[in-house]
Structure 1
């Protein structure tokens, strides 16, 4: 009998999350996929996540319910131009965000996530290394500002997080008379991050909400994709949790690619009658892309065990 494991990202709809064996952010799901003893992994997320799962567990059949579920950080990155940029900075360490294609990862020295990027880049600077960062311009700009780095940055953004803006936030804040907080994903623009009380990965923001013990009547604004609000409100139904607006009056900001993971598409993939198998990555490409991922995982195992 075929053993099927279904993974769903926090940004998918609640109905899709209820169909999954594991719900998490991209790193959590990739690690789960790596260790899963599954014949078929259905990855309800976006393409780079399914590719990462295949790279980490090449023996499993990995299926993406809808091949159209890509990411603007991938589509805004021309690999030939990236390779030239990398060659122009040959004496730099290339750190790439996990939200990138397999081809992109193969050109990197290190892969990072929004959870460990601060520690890994600090580690490299402590060693006297020079760093270039790709593909997320907003995250790189925040790191340069926060820590005084001068990293050359690639010029791509997450089209969802890049829509958050300070003007809309200030308007929303002005309508709240009591306590208010803003928690934000580091893919958001720098002016938004300057306004934030907490900046972290999807899972870290969820944990912040779970652990919140301040004024129960406070309004908590969340600057990230709206899917995670389901998990936050489920964990803390006692709190007033709202998505940060992207312009005055708008409180909805969804990733169109994540929402391609429909109930019908996921069911078809689970039953082996739909979806697209991640079988187009060559062994050599997976080998090269795995090196910077393994470097990240080895660092994390050493660093966070202390």
Structure 2
């Protein structure tokens, strides 16, 4: 995504960020949301990158805070008839495809993803047609229509293992949409991987030199990096992994502090699990910038207490219900099921 377009996206979305609430208002919304979840046989499923207030509420009401793979598993297996998905739109679509009998609502359908936006279904389908001998593997951060064109769907938590598995079977890979993650799995596996040219507007902004400068001030800190980051950032990491893998790494390592190159929403879970450790956001800008680290997805930030309550209290879901065309859903379910089965097999090993 071009720099000018990124600036326009952030400027547009700044006006859609939920307002800051005082303690009394937050308590009021939390109580009403909890009551509505119970009354409507609904469960709140939230991503690690959402506001800490939303994550805490999901936990307190028996919901789930996780990466996109665990969110998909949880929503599919939970007995609730309504899923409230706090994240971005592709997560809601995935939940609906896996649980077509359930109602899937989101605090706002405007919450999307730069990787999704940057990989239009028609253009991607043409790209695939030009490479008919390749196995199509798409990242979870894509639309239902793009998933429907794929052979496999994958998340960052199992990307290396899946590509290694396919490579050992002699398959050549067409990967979309994140080129940084695609390049990372190529380097790790040695597989023949052809990448679509896409990136996450958050992770693409991390700067290796800025991290090295911060590391010089905090030599005891370990560097944790999400593989959607540029190769120069991945190269200086102590640990590279998905959101859930970075959380586990922070628990296992003895370091007292960490420089974290992913969305700062993850700090809620890290600080919850490791209150005695220090977590620092990896820099995304130079010394002269007003924001040294702007590592916060503007779309994830659109999930707030007010719009979560609104979607629950309105019988029609305020127009924020996820619908997926039946034919597209049926095709997308095939690679999604493959992903879940492969992930389950990895857990059993």
TM-score range, shorter chain: over 0.9
Higher helix share: 2
| Aligned residue number for residue 48 of structure 1 | 90
Alignment of 1:190-229 (within 5 A): 190-212=231-253, 214-216=254-256, 219-229=257-267
| Aligned residue number for residue 246 of structure 1 | 284
| Aligned residue number for residue 310 of structure 2 | 268
| Aligned residue number for residue 100 of structure 1 | 142
Q: CA RMSD, aligned part only?
A: 1.4
Q: Tell me if structure 2 keeps the 8 A contact 1:171–1:248.
A: no
Tell me the TM-score normalised to structure 1 length: 0.95
Q: Tell me if structure 2 keeps the 8 A contact 1:65–1:275.
A: no
Measure the CA separation in 1 of the matches of 2:248 and 2:52. Answer: 18
Are positions 1:299 and 2:337 aligned together?
no
Measure the CA separation in 2 of the matches of 1:64 and 1:275. Answer: 9
| Aligned residue number for residue 88 of structure 1 | 130
| Aligned residue number for residue 270 of structure 2 | 232
Decide which of 57, 60, 85 is 1:19's aligned counterpart.
57
> Residue 45 of structure 2 aligns to a residue in which SS?
strand
Measure the CA separation in 1 of the matches of 2:192 and 2:342. Answer: 23
- The answer to which of 48-57 and 5-14 deviates more is 5-14
| Aligned residue number for residue 299 of structure 2 | 257
Q: Tell me if structure 1 keeps the 8 A contact 2:164–2:191.
A: no
Q: Tell me if structure 2 keeps the 8 A contact 1:10–1:24.
A: yes
Are positions 1:282 and 2:282 aligned together?
no
- The answer to which of 137-146 and 157-166 deviates more is 137-146
Q: CA 1:215/1:127 → structure 2, altered by over 3 Å: closer, same or farther?
A: closer
Identify unmatched segments of 5+ residues in structure 1.
none
Measure the CA separation in 2 of the matches of 1:260 and 1:202. Answer: 20
| Aligned residue number for residue 68 of structure 1 | 110
Measure the CA separation in 2 of the matches of 1:31 and 1:275. Answer: 25
Give 1:130 shift: 1.0
- The answer to which of 293-302 and 128-137 deviates more is 293-302
Give 1:215 shift: 4.2
| Aligned residue number for residue 188 of structure 1 | 229
Q: Tell me if structure 1 keeps the 8 A contact 2:120–2:146.
A: no
Tell me the TM-score normalised to structure 2 length: 0.83
Q: Tell me if structure 2 keeps the 8 A contact 1:268–1:275.
A: no
Decide which of 134, 141, 145 is 2:187's aligned counterpart.
145
Identify unmatched segments of 5+ residues in structure 2.
1-38
The count of residues paired between Structure 1 and Structure 2 equals 301
Measure the CA separation in 2 of the matches of 1:36 and 1:275. Answer: 24
Which string of whole-angstrom CA distances, capped at 9 and with x for unpartnered residues, describes residues 40-88 of structure 1? 2111100000000000000111011111100000111122111111011
Measure the CA separation in 2 of the matches of 1:43 and 1:271. Answer: 15
Measure the CA separation in 2 of the matches of 1:215 and 1:121. Answer: 31
> Residue 59 of structure 1 aligns to a residue in which SS?
coil
